[in-house]
Amino acid sequence: EVSALAHRTQQSTSEIERLVTDIQTGTERAVGSMRGNTELASETLGIAEGANESLTVISAAV
């Protein structure tokens, strides 16, 4: 019975290790996606600011 309990404990430990690894991998992917989205948002802001400047110049010329 002690041997069976030790075996089950080992299985549970391995399962927990896999779960922790999966969570770490998912977290790393999420952080990577957030960084990419931040870069895209920054680019979009730059484009919008450029468009605003162009429209201001056009508006002033009219």
Domain ranges of the chain: 1-62
Spatial distance between the Cα atoms of 25 and 8, rounded to a whole number of angstroms:
26
Averaged pLDDT, 34-57: 98
Whether pTM > 0.75 for this model: the answer is no
51 pLDDT tier (thresholds 50, 70, 90): very high
Spatial distance between the Cα atoms of 44 and 27, rounded to a whole number of angstroms:
25
54 pLDDT tier (thresholds 50, 70, 90): very high
pLDDT attached to residue 41: 98
Averaged pLDDT, 44-60: 97
57 pLDDT tier (thresholds 50, 70, 90): very high
